[in-house]
Structure formats: C-alpha cells, structure tokens
Amino acid sequence: MQLHLLRIALAAFAFFLGVLAAPAPEPRATTGISQEVFDELKFYYQYASSSFSDKCAKPNGNVFVKRINNAITDTQGFIARDDDRKEIIVALRGSGSLIDGLVDIAFVPVPLISRGINPPLFSFIHAGFLTAYNSVADVIINTVKDELVVHPDYTLVTSGHSLGGALASIAGLSLQQNFHNNTVRMYTYGQPRTFNSVAAFFVNSKFGNRAHRSVHVNDVIPHIVPQGILDFRHHGIEYWQFVEPAVPANFKSCNADGEDPNCSKTVRSIGGPSAHEMYFDIQSGTIFCS
C-alpha cells in the first residue's frame, strides 16, 4: 500500500500538467459496452489479479503451464492454457516491491529492442518496463513456442494490471512479432504509458481492436508517464469505467488510437489507491486459481 501511495503522489504533478495540456474533447467515445465485452474484460482481469499468487494451480480454472520469475528484476507471472477457448495466456504481475517501484519510475525512453520485435525506426519505450520484460522474454517465448507445437491453432493472450499491464503490452507485441500465424490479443488494466508515439502506432497497426486497455474512473496510474517532450503515448482501445458501479452501461469504448481526449483524459481529479487497485469490483491480488 505504501508503494502505491508513493507512486500516486509522484504521479500527481505530471498528471495535472498533462490535464492542463490536453486538447479539447472530441465526440469519439461510445457510452456503454455490451455484456459480452464487459464479461471478457472482467475474465482476463482475473488472470492479471491471479498473477500476484506464487502458486496458481488452475488459473481461471484452466491448465497451469509455467511460472514466470526473475529475481533480479522482480518480474513474475505465469503461462496458462485454456483448452475450451483454445488459448495460451501470459499473465504478468503488477507492482509489489521496492524493485518494482524503481522499474516504474525509470521512464527514460530507450530504443525498442527485444527478441523478435522488428519495430519501425525511432520506436522508443519506457526503459524500466523494457528491462523487466526482456528479463523474462526468453522464458515466455520459448514456453509459448513449445505449447504451439502441440496446439498450433491456439490464440495467444496477454494480461496484466499496472506495471503488469505495461509488461503485458510488450509481451503481446513480442508474441505477435514472434508468432505471425497466431492471433494475439492483449488486455491491460491501469496501465501506465509504455511506448512513444511511433511504437504505440506500430502496436495499433498490428492489433487493431485486439488491444484492450481498461481504466477505472480517476485512476492516476494510466497518466503517471506524461506525454510531453518524451512523447509517450497510449495504444489500443481504452475501456473507461467513468462512474461506479462496474456495469456495462458505465463504461465508454474509446477511440482505437489510444489517446481519446473524451475518455479518462477528461478527469480533473486523482483517485486514491482504491481507484487503481479495484477493477471490475475485484481487488487486485484476488486469486482465481481453482
């Protein structure tokens, strides 16, 4: 809790600068989402939440494949397989330690260099997030490759909350670039900006409507890495829960370019820890492992 309070405090100044500099809202967002989309977003959040567990025997009731764990960068998660949906899921854990806090604030942009990813020139990314992902990239890619030998037609899915959301977005791009014959979808929750504009538009070009990014009311963490001179930018479709409670009518489906000014960027207040830790009325870290 103290780590999240510190991150929220550090975010406040950058957030307000971003709000003041934001362009006027445009009529892009659609209010209300279908029950099907709502249930899908909630279902994959349960993977993200379960990634906080050191042992998850049956993630979302499905097959546990492999634990992800790098002690140096404190990057954890798991790989699961859903044989009913024909999916291989990579879930990555959000912040939970001082090391994670250091990863979060290392937002110097660096070239997007990771195994199998071939981005356009001038693609940059948050240094801390890239370092953390690259520390587990080989484990993820090699394990998914082994699974696809047995299940070659399965869809690949990534999921994560907060820091885990940033890592899940990199993992999603990584899987799309390494496994061209498989459909890849990504689901992130309370994700801070991760890529610069060139890289974010590259992600959009590869994913279209298969990149899902949820924001809960006035959660400040999605704004913790400012756009400004460093040129960070969100990617994918933002699904913004603009008011309580978490029901389909209280969400907006936002423009697919990632920075719809009519969605969470319109918020003029900073939420406390509950705004960041509670998605779909589920406390982050709640386990769905049986």
Q: Is 256 exposed, middle or buried (0-12, 13-18, 19+ CB in 10 A)?
A: middle
56, two tokens: 């998850």
Question: What CATH architecture is 2-282?
Answer: 3-Layer(aba) Sandwich (3.40)
User: Cβ distance 168 to 156 under 8 Å?
Assistant: no
Least confident segment among 17-31, 113-127, 173-187, 213-227? 17-31
Q: What is the pLDDT of residue 28?
A: 58
Mean pLDDT value of segment 142-156? 98
Q: Looking at residues 168-174, what average pLDDT do you find?
A: 98
Distance CA 94, CA 176 (A): 22
Q: Global pTM?
A: 0.90
Render pLDDT for 15-59 as a digit per residue (tens, 0 to 9): 433 433 333 334 457 899 999 999 999 999 999 999 999 999 999
Instruction: Judge whether 128 and 103 are in contact, CB under 8 Å.
Output: yes
- Residue among 99, 86, 20, 93 nearest 50 (CA): 93
The answer to whether 255 and 211 have CB atoms below 8 angstroms apart is no
Q: pLDDT confidence of 268, banded at 50, 70, 90?
A: confident
Handedness of CA 56, 59, 65, 71 (dihedral sign): negative
Task: Could you list the beta-strand ranges (E) of the chain.
Answer: 30-31, 63-70, 75-82, 87-92, 109-111, 124-126, 155-161, 184-189, 195-196, 211-216, 232-233, 237-241, 251-253, 278-279, 282-283
Using an 8 Å Cβ cutoff, are 77 and 56 in contact?
no
pLDDT of residue 269: 86
- Region 260-276 average pLDDT: 91
